Amino acid sequence: MSFDEPMLAYEATRIAPREGLEWREADAMKLPFDDQSFDAVVCRFGLMFLPDKAAGAREAFRVLKPGGRLLVSVWDHLEDNLAPRITRETVATYFPSDPSAFYAALLSLHDPTVVYGLLDGAGFEDVQWQRLDRVGVSPSAAQAVVGLVEGNPIYGAIMERRPSALAEI
């Protein structure tokens, strides 16, 4: 099971099934779809983790029909994201000599000019950037912590370094 499978399963519970909607895991840098086969592509908090972000942008452009839309979500500066900042600082105290690079990747596209460059280079036109000030909600602080730690790639970094630290973190 990959990291993406639980995310897809979760998303499938949030959106009512409908004809033509299918949840599939795929390599965003080499999409298994025909050219110009989609009206819209959504990449929610994923582009920043691609080893070749430009290839991912080109693939999104390739599979979109003319006039199709791409919606990409990225994280803003760490300074503006309290919960991830606290999570990063907490995890770093457990691995001071071997910190995870996860948060560097997470925040690698906070600069609009970088995103504009990627999308322009892939062929997109009329790119628009909108900053949304949102506060996430969770049923409890405990569930928020589980999501922040176990619900993202930092979990894998913890498991690689010292699985016994997970409960403390």
Q: Where would I find the beta strands (DSSP E) of 26-132?
A: 38-44, 64-73
Range of the domain at 94: 77-108+136-169
Same domain, 35 and 99: no
Confidence (pTM): 0.79
pLDDT-derived band at 31, boundaries 50, 70, 90: very high
101 and 33: one domain?
no
Residue 31 and residue 68 share a domain: yes
Cα–Cα dist 18/160, whole Å: 39
CA dihedral 134→64→112→5, nearest 10 degrees, is 50
DSSP string of 91-111? HHHH-TTS--SHHHHHTTT-S
Rounded-to-integer distance, Cα 160 and Cα 154, Å? 10
Same domain, yes or no: 104 and 152 = yes
Single-letter code of the amino acid located at 3: F
Query: Are 5 and 81 part of one and the same domain?
Result: no
Examine the domain organization and report whether 97 and 37 are in the same domain: no
Decide if pLDDT at 18 tops 60: yes
The rounded distance, in Å, linking the Cα atoms of 159 and 169 is: 12
Q: Would the pLDDT of 1 be above 50?
A: no
- Number of domain units in the chain: 2
CATH code of residue 27: 3.40.50.150
Is the domain of 3 the same as that of 85? no
pLDDT digits (tens, 9 = 90+) for 68-115: 999 999 988 878 888 888 888 899 899 888 777 777 777 889 999 999
